[in-house]
Amino acid sequence: MRLPRSLTLLAATTPFVLAAPKVTVPAAGGTLAAGKVSVTFEDDGTSPAISELSTYTVQLMVGGNADDNSLPLTTIVTNGEWSSSLTASGTITAGLAGNTANGFYFKITSVATAGGTYISYSNRFTMSGMTGTTPAEYTTAVTALNGATAGPTPINQIAAAAQTAAAMTGDPYTIPYYLQTGPVKYAPMQPVPPTAITAKTYSPLYPTSSYSLATTYLPLPSITTTQTQAQTFSVSSIENTIAAQAAPTADGSDNAGGTDGSSKKKKRAADSRVEPDEKKRHLANFLARWKD
């Protein structure tokens, strides 16, 4: 199902504090009305610094605090810039879900300038004016929290990206492609086809990697380019210095004579006086020149 989305970013002049973003509005246990909503951030006094983050997305979630019991309903901010504002706004459509008490929270995915992501969450709040239906599995997950208003634990994937980058300083092409993070990816050298096919069965060159299906709008990709390792395979060739054979003639001898009209007439006259068996011999000699 394609989810509706309406997005408006608000510019603000809030000064930056060098710490990770924290949602202050909506407050824990508060209520937001369906329609136009605003999200306000402030520093939480922990790493990473906001100056280390570039862009972010804000998704409205419903359900529990785990990936397998929560559902992204819509993205209200895509490609927001931390350098522009600490306040963002968007529109939440009333038909996305039902009125589940403390069943909603915001998921903020920030892209780090050095690679990797930092995922933070708001506290839980209630949405009023909702006219849709929340699937039972997600309302059950909310009920299991017994009224708790804390959102999921932040996920800092920036440190892992930095460790991967440090490991790649020796030879970045040796790191499996799916384990790399950061704005630049490194692909191994392309293999050279063998001179003979000896395989009887086929198998993948590299192991498969996991994937997940998108259920809402995704943020813009953070990868800017892929560098492929330079090819070391080379070929060499030599010049064929053997002179080409002279053009053949009807009698099997090289055409060393002239090519003027009188020579051709004399040749045709001589050929007309050759006996049939002799002509066959000449033809056989002519064809024999091309056996090699």
- What is the per-residue pLDDT across 59-97, written as a single tens digit (0 to 9) for each? 999 999 998 899 999 888 888 888 777 888 888 899 999
11 plus 154 within the same structural domain: yes
Do the domain assignments include residue 209? no
133 plus 259 within the same structural domain: no
What predicted TM-score, i.e. pTM, was given to this entire model?
0.50
263 plus 126 within the same structural domain: no
133 plus 252 within the same structural domain: no
Structural domain that includes position 273 = 247-292
**Residue at a domain's end among 159, 177, 195:** 159
Number of neighbouring beta carbons within 10 Å of residue 48: 20
146 plus 41 within the same structural domain: yes
Tally of domains in the chain: 2
pLDDT number for residue 246: 76
Instruction: Output the tens digit of pLDDT for each of the chain's 292 residues.
Output: 343 333 333 333 233 333 466 777 788 888 888 888 888 887 777 778 777 888 888 899 999 999 889 999 988 888 888 877 788 888 889 999 998 899 999 998 888 887 778 888 999 999 999 999 999 999 999 999 998 999 898 888 775 555 555 454 557 777 777 677 777 888 888 888 878 888 788 877 766 767 788 888 877 777 778 888 888 877 788 888 888 877 766 555 555 444 455 555 555 555 555 566 777 887 888 887 777 5
Distances (CA, A) of 288 to 167, 244, 247, 277: 67, 17, 14, 17
**Residue at a domain's end among 106, 136, 159:** 159
Do the domain assignments include residue 235? no
In this structure, what CATH number is given to the domain that contains residue 27?
2.60.40.1220
Do the domain assignments include residue 185? no
Do the domain assignments include residue 218? no
**Residue at a domain's end among 103, 133, 159:** 159
152 plus 23 within the same structural domain: yes
Do the domain assignments include residue 48? yes
Do the domain assignments include residue 199? no
Q: Are the CB atoms for 56 and 94 separated by under 8 Å?
A: no
153 plus 261 within the same structural domain: no
- What is the per-residue pLDDT across 31-63, written as a single tens digit (0 to 9) for each? 888 888 888 887 777 778 777 888 888 899 999
Mean pLDDT, the chain, rounded, equals: 76
17 plus 126 within the same structural domain: yes
